[in-house]
Amino acid sequence: MQAEIITIGDEILIGQIVDTNATFISKTLNKLGVSVYQITSVQDDATHILKALKEAEENADIIIITGGLGPTKDDITKKTITNYFQDTLIRDDAVTDNIYRLWKGFKKDVLPSQVNLDQALVPSKATVLMNVNGSAPGMWLEKNNKVFVSLPGVPFEMKALMEDEVIPRLSDKFNFPYIYHTTVLTAGLGESDLAARIEKWEDTLPDFIKLAYLPNLGRVRLRLSGKHADKNILESEIAYQIRLLTPQIQDIFVGFESEGTIESILGKQLVALEKTIATAESCTGGKIAEMFTSSAGASAYYKGSVVSYATQTKIDVLGVSETLISKHSVVSSQVAEAMAKNVLELFKTDYAIATTGNAGPEKGDSDAEVGTVYIALATKTHVYSEKFNFGNHRTKVINRASNKAFEMLQKEILKK
């Protein structure tokens, strides 16, 4: 069973708004057991909408349309759908009553205008999906054994209709298979190297389970997706495949996406170990601190940061020796390690991470090449650092350095 989502509106295509509706609908359909074949965004243009409807009917069994149901002249979706079904518009009394109810509740003594009342016009062949949160109703139509659903583009109105009207009706009409996803989080090995490592395991996956690689700057998510008529068989098989996979990626395995982000998972591990951490950041500018504190309850293990962006701050606040900086450069393993040791002592923590480098686009206080970053990790018993070159794209350098810092922390925690 396949679906297509059509989102309508010039505001999407010019980047004025982000299309969150398609994301929500995709996730909701997936939970139901429906595979989304395609997502299409089109202008508020009748020709484009008609073309999208025709192509969607050829591709999918379920077509969900959002947007273009407002009261203004540029909202032409309803008239275009009526044309597509060779139908006429009729006034729905229940929708009219709903509009008066909304106006009485929100507008007090002001009566709805004719433009607003005309939102109660619906195709005669449509089943009305009552929108209790707004004046534009949803509409359910069928053609050639295909289901077309038109929903308002306002996100909270669309979500309520999907959950309260569309999903129950689809469940009654169709017998869907069960879809199940599990995503494994890894860090420290690139996509191609990881694929080569687990190739034999991937080649033996059953036909009803697919593997997707989702890479992002030193991290790769492995998503196992399956579809089967029997829920128990599918979940058992995916669990079995993960048991086969885990020993092959033990050194880079962080956890499961269902447990949270890599940062939050590492935080939970620190809590379990009753350990704490602090950071001293230069080139990453507080990015590592931001990633730590994005998780609720981070204060249980994350004690704070010194963003010593300027060289003098490293000297005045962190107590890094000016002689050390002069001898080795502010971008060096020696300075990174001094930063880590000193922030560990400053915050009285069990672990500390420090970064110093040149994110670009210019070299700054050091002759180190753009992209050069030193990351140090200190504990109460030892300190070490690693040198990296993350390229010449400033934002990428910062993000890759931050991700690498968490990878180094993960490996240190695994020693326990």
HEC per residue, 2-14? EEEEEEECHHHHC
* Phi, psi of 184, rounded to the nearest 5 degrees: -95, 135
Indicate the pLDDT class of residue 365, thresholds 50, 70 and 90. Answer: low
pTM comes to 0.68
Mean pLDDT of all residues in 144-170: 95
Which residues contact residue 261 at a Cβ distance below 8 angstroms, ignoring those fewer than 6 apart?
Answer: 291, 294, 295
Bridge partners (DSSP) of residue 375 are 355, 386
Amino acid at 158: M
Query: Which pLDDT score is estimated for 225?
Result: 94
pLDDT at 74 over 80: no
Residue found under tokens 């609720």: 296
CA dihedral sign of residues 148, 152, 154, 156 = negative
Q: Please answer whether residues 353 and 276 qualify as being in contact, where contact means their C-beta atoms are separated by less than 8 angstroms.
A: no
Q: Please answer whether residues 177 and 228 qualify as being in contact, where contact means their C-beta atoms are separated by less than 8 angstroms.
A: yes
- Quick count: other Cβ atoms within 10 Å of Cβ 91? 11
Query: Which pLDDT score is estimated for 105?
Result: 81
- Render pLDDT for 225-257 as a digit per residue (tens, 0 to 9): 998 989 999 999 999 999 999 999 999 999 999
Residue found under tokens 């992002």: 216
Q: Please answer whether residues 356 and 373 qualify as being in contact, where contact means their C-beta atoms are separated by less than 8 angstroms.
A: yes
Q: Give the tokens for residue 333.
A: 């393993």
Q: Please answer whether residues 380 and 344 qualify as being in contact, where contact means their C-beta atoms are separated by less than 8 angstroms.
A: yes
Residue 229: closest CA among 180, 177, 176, 181: 177
Q: Please answer whether residues 50 and 80 qualify as being in contact, where contact means their C-beta atoms are separated by less than 8 angstroms.
A: yes
